[in-house]
Amino acid sequence: MSLRVQVLASGSTGNAALYTSGGTRLLVDCGLSARRVTHLLRSVGVEPDDLSGILVTHEHTDHVQGLRVFLKKRRIPLFVAPECLENRAFEEIEPGCFEPVRGGVRMQIGDIAVTPFPLPHDARKCFGYVLEAGGVKAVQATDLGTPTALVRERVKDAHCLLLEFNHDVDRLMGGSYPLDVKIRVKGRLGHLSNEQAAGLLSETVNGGTQVVYLMHLSRENNLPELAVLAASEALGDKPVRVEVARPFDPAPPWEG
């Protein structure tokens, strides 16, 4: 059985990714309007009611803003850390929809095995996810300020890796953000720079990795060509496909 990965949208304005295996369809994050997420799903041939579950990485707006409306008339299981539930985005969601997410606790959701792992980010709780089906492994690690030893361990041996390439340090520090925001973004609980993410790739990508998606690029503090250059230099001559996730439209899918 194969695993199909489709990044629907990724960036500072909203995030959503779809994982499919057999009859199981999992959405990671619902960070755009419900209408937009519905449109993106249908653009790749999936009806919202066909989702087997929604996994939440953390409670920041660009990852949850569409949830309340999206789930208003649907009872799709929502997998989320209990610590995140104080956020207003979850206030009007039926309590019966919630399934707790805890670091290191493997969940079997239909045909896909999901293992959450903690990410260092300034949220109540933030998780990356390992998703496996039929011997195929995909790893999503976005919204993290530091590539910890656990993160390195989890991304190893991934056939498909979705990794944050948030900012170019020079563009961030020379840009228009207030100084305190620059310090936050650059800090250990902020977001990965191109250089940090590239370093993680050079340390962990091996012969099994087939594709890397460059995720969560800042529209103001990064450029796709800078992120691709950093990733390509880190990968060297390894035969790995590099895709830039787009802020408003699906990136080309991958299936393994």
pLDDT of residue 120: 98
Residue 67 is predicted with a pLDDT of 95
Q: Is the pTM of this model over 0.95?
A: yes
pLDDT at residue 95 in the model: 73
- Domains, the chain, in order of start with CATH, read 4-250 (3.60.15.10)
State the distance between the two ends of the chain, measured CA to CA, in whole angstroms. 9
Q: Within the chain, which residues score under 70 in pLDDT?
A: 1
Report DSSP letters for 108-133, one per residue.
EETTEEEEEEE---SSS--EEEEEEE
Chain CA centroid to CA 219, Å: 17
pLDDT at 197: 98
Q: Which of 59, 44, 101, 61 is nearest to 77 (CA)?
A: 101
One-letter amino acid at 18 equals: L
